[in-house]
Structure 1
Amino acid sequence: MNDPTIISPFDFEAIERFRQQHRLDPQHIRVLRNRLMKHFRSDEEAAADFPLPQSLRFHVLDRYRRFDSDVDGATKMLFRTDAGMLIEAVILRIATGRTTLCVSSQVGCAAACDFCATGKMGIAKNLHSFEILDQVLQAGQILAAEQTSLDNIVFMGMGEPFHNESNLTDAIDLLTATDHFNRSPSRILVSTVGVCDGMIRLAERFPKINLALSLHSADQSTRETIIPLAKRYPLDQLRETIARCNAMQGHEVMIEYLMLDGVNDTEVDRERLSRWLDGLDVHLNLIPYNPIEDAPHLRGTAPDEITDFASAMKSRGIKTTVRYSLGRDIDAACGQLVRKENRTFAIQSHSAAASISTGSQTGDFKN
């Protein structure tokens, strides 16, 4: 967005300068935003009556590829950023009729969780708030074309949201703003591996936003093994953070628990988890693990054992559900295509930069 004559509908300051410069009626801006961000009309329909539509750049992401599940209707979208990197967003069409969009906040992820393909990418670059919002816009346009609405937005895609906190909160500001997307904050969820200070700041700023903690073990040493960031944010601090968020927000925090065979699914693990959750306002979500090629040492807990684990938690008075994974046929290699493409791009960019540098030193490049 370096060209001052080309503006994004997400850029409030730029579009206001544009409006004043061209002496546009504010109604033109309101109609554009309503059509685009609240009703997810197509680009052409949104700009139908807008003066100088050639000055608008509706999308900061290019749609690279789309994968549609043959099993349950999930859609995975790969987007390319202006920097040439790929990210993922996934539309989940729930059997009840509700739809959920899983968005990314980063390219890659520095949390480097052992079970996560994205964490194995070896890079972590923050997405601009406009790049986060464009995932929502393009997914919303897909659903609107199907005459379906977008119900929920979850930050469970690539990246640790609180490692990109400024752009995360800027995006949420516009998602919930009445003159932009006008989404209910209660329909937005932010998932984190446990960045305590970020969780507290978000709860204070957006008390109605939902928080989810990727816990995965109530044993500190086990958690550090699968989530390196756990060393910085130990379990005692996490528990205090959830209690503070409960007090500030007045509603439950989602606890995500990936079921790993022999790692966190034993009777001892059940006892530890129930003690750790005792007294907190939480909803435990048990997640079946789909293996990734970069973690062959990890296996998912058998379905019947997950059911037993859930029953044991419920018997202890803990609200518990087992997540049903949608889009398994397109998510089986989640992050893998993106990882390979991004690594190739990074290598090519590095090689090109090295060639330019070498050429300058040897006089091969001349003005």
Structure 2
Amino acid sequence: MTTAPASTGLFRADEMESLRRALRLDPQVLRKLRNDLLKKFEPDELVLNRFPAADAIELHSLKLYQRMDSEIDGATKLLFETESGLLIESVILRIATGRTTLCVSSQIGCAAACDFCATGKMGIAKNLATEEILDQVVQAGQILRAEDRRLSNIVFMGMGEPLHNEGNVTEAIRLLTAADHFARSPSTVLVSTVGVPAAMLRLAKTFPRLNLALSLHSADQATRQQIIPLGKKASLTQLHDTIQEIQAIQDREFMIEYLMLRDVNDSAEDAKRLIDWIANLRVHVNLIPYNSIEASPHLKASPRPTIESFADVLKASGLKTTIRYSLGNDIEAACGQLIRQENRQRAIAARRTEADCDSHVGFLDVRQVVDGFES
């Protein structure tokens, strides 16, 4: 008699099909399971109670470690623990209009090392697997369902550079938009990058209706490289040409993100330089107030009047421009640092445990992490 595999992963198609065949299940049973969990975000108990072999399936690859709710607005920060024992974060943003956005992570740490980003100070630890990316969506969706809310948008703006984990991010988007999984419109998903031209083009070709955003932050090459070291690998000219090529593929507006840093990129000259760089591109510029982080005390937020003046210059040139408001300020800045410190401590503890037991089993991921966090 054929036995079913133990702990089959929901997003592992081959394993799910093997499970179905082993248990001789009607394909409709798996469709029902996916519909209930991935489209309706029903609670685990309800989903598993309807499944004939609940003990043979694994609904989640992440464990909710901590939840923090803002006391001043509708933001919730979710800290998840991966199977490797490290933490990542996702953020639910409940907009006043009633829409909800989920910000997901694609990596533990980030190699881009942007000067303004707490995650960038961690270094790169590990790419998240496709199922770890998608489980953030599932668990956040379940939280929102319990509040009688619907998940409106998903943005890849959490920990990590999404296009440094291109394969898993692409597969995650494929399943998010697949009719037999989450069945979401690509227009409700946005991927933000600091600029990896070849990968940006591949993503646009694969998902023509997907929203893309570039974290630009300066239209001066030297300034951009100062705050985004990865900017050395792709010039502003190359990024402009890439966006132009993407727009020929997608025929849709491209988002430019611009973090407002006092005396770094917020002068009238910086605004004019940005206008010149955008030139003939069809874009929407988001001006983002900076939330200070402990690891970069030299960076300061631009005053509100400076941001408004900057926006006025852009608008006067005909550019669609929005000044964004930060949500979750009371739970945000310290948390990025918390994860960095917590993960470093966990990595060091695991390394010590490995040395004590003289074993190489189970600690490969943690060893790969240590150098990144200690650099």
**AA of the residue aligned to 2:55:** Q
Query: 1:151: which partner in 2?
Result: 152
Q: What is residue 217 of structure 1 aligned with on the other side?
A: 218
Q: Deviations over 1:119-153 (max 9, x none)?
A: 00133310000000000000000000111100000
Letter of the structure 1 residue corresponding to residue 125 of structure 2: A
Q: Which amino acid in the other structure matches residue 14 of structure 2?
A: E
Kept in 1, the 8 Å contact 2:102–2:137? The answer is yes
| 2:239 match | 238
Q: Give, in whole Å, the separation in 1 of the partners of 2:359 and 2:351.
A: 12
Query: Could you tell me which residue of structure 1 aligns to residue 113 of structure 2?
Result: 112
RMSD value, Cα: 1.3
After the TM superposition, which of the residue ranges 51-60 and 180-189 deviates more from structure 2? 51-60
Structure 1 distance, partners of 2:357, 2:142, is 41
Partner of 1:20: 21
Match runs of 1:259-274 below 5 Å:
259-274=260-275
**CA offsets, 1:34-87, max 9 Å, x none?**
000000000111122211111111110000000000111210000000000000
Contact 2:268–2:313 (CA<8 Å) still a contact in 1? no
What residue is the counterpart of 1:365 in the other structure? none
Matches within 5 A, 1:297-312: 297-312=298-313
Between the aligned partners of 2:17 and 2:96, the Cα distance in structure 1 is 42
Query: What pairs up with 1:108-187 in 2 under 5 angstroms?
Result: 108-187=109-188
The aligned counterpart of 1:70 is 71
| Separation of aligned partners in 1, 2:209 and 2:262 | 35
Distance 1:354 1:312 in 2: 59
Shifted more, 333-342 versus 147-156: the winner is 333-342
Which whole-Å CA distance do the structure 2 matches of 1:26 and 1:12 have between them? 13
| Amino acid across the alignment from 1:267 | A
Structure 1 unaligned spans of 5+ = 360-367
Distance 1:114-1:23 versus aligned 2 partners, 3 A rule: same
SS in 2 for 1:60: coil
After superposition, the Cα gap between the structure-2 partners of 1:346 and 1:274, relative to the gap in structure 1 and judged at 3 Å, is same
Q: Residue type matched to 1:284 in 2?
A: V
Q: Measure the CA separation in 2 of the matches of 1:168 and 1:123.
A: 16
Structure 1 CA distance, aligned partners of 2:356 and 2:230? Answer: 37
Where do 5+ consecutive residues of structure 2 fail to align?
361-375
Partner of 1:276: 277
**Structure 1 counterpart of 2:111, which letter?**
A
1:137-178: CA deviations, max 9, x gaps?
Answer: 000000001111000000000000000000001101110000
Work out whether residues 89 and 159 of structure 2, in 8 Å CA contact, stay in contact via their aligned partners in 1. Answer: yes
Q: 1:285 to 1:358 in 2, by over 3 A?
A: closer
Do the aligned residues in 2 keep the contact of 1:9 with 1:58 (CA within 8 Å)?
A: yes
| One-letter code aligned to 2:262 | D
Kindly indicate whether residue 100 of structure 2 is the aligned counterpart of residue 99 of structure 1. Answer: yes
Aligned-pair CA distance for 1:252: 1.1
Contact 1:124 1:159 in 2 (8 A): no
Answering whether residue 352 of structure 2 is matched by residue 351 of structure 1, we say yes
Task: Write out per-residue CA displacement over residues 195-232 of structure 1, whole angstroms, 9 at most, x where no aligned residue.
Answer: 11110000000010000000000000000000000000
Structure 1 runs, 4 residues or longer, greater than 4 Å off: none
Alpha-carbon separation, structure 1, partners of 2:29 and 2:356: 48
Identity of aligned residues (%): 60
Q: 1:81 is matched with which residue?
A: 82
Which amino acid in the other structure matches residue 161 of structure 1? P
Letter aligned with residue 337 of structure 2: Q
Task: Count residues with an aligned counterpart.
Answer: 357
TM-score, normalised to structure 1, is: 0.95
- How far apart, in 2, do the equivalents of 1:208 and 1:247 lie? 12
Q: How far apart are 1:334 and its partner, in Å? A: 4.0
